[in-house]
Amino acid sequence: MALSDFDARLLDFAQRAPRALGAREEAIRAELGISPVRYYQRLNLLIDAPEAMATHPALVRRLATLRESHGKL
């Protein structure tokens, strides 16, 4: 199963998202049109998706490591 267009956009955004929390939350709303809570929920699901690993392996590994070390994103 392939990633949806939205999931691909979300992963692309995650690669280049602003580091500052406030700026990131504003960018999530402006660029993706969803709440930050929904963004992190979807991102956590995508970290475990083989399709995400196939298209964004370095990002998914980095996010999985962050999730493991911090308990969650």
Q: Is the dihedral of CA 3, 45, 25, 61 positive or negative?
A: negative
For 10-60, how does the pLDDT look when each residue is reduced to its tens digit (9 = 90+)?
Answer: 999 999 999 999 999 999 999 999 999 999 999 999 999 999 999 999 999
Proportion of the chain above pLDDT 90, given as a percent: 92
C-alpha 71/C-alpha 9 separation (Å) is 25
Round the average pLDDT of the chain to a whole number and report it. Answer: 95
Cβ atoms < 10 Å from Cβ of 12? 14
Domain boundaries, the chain: 5-70
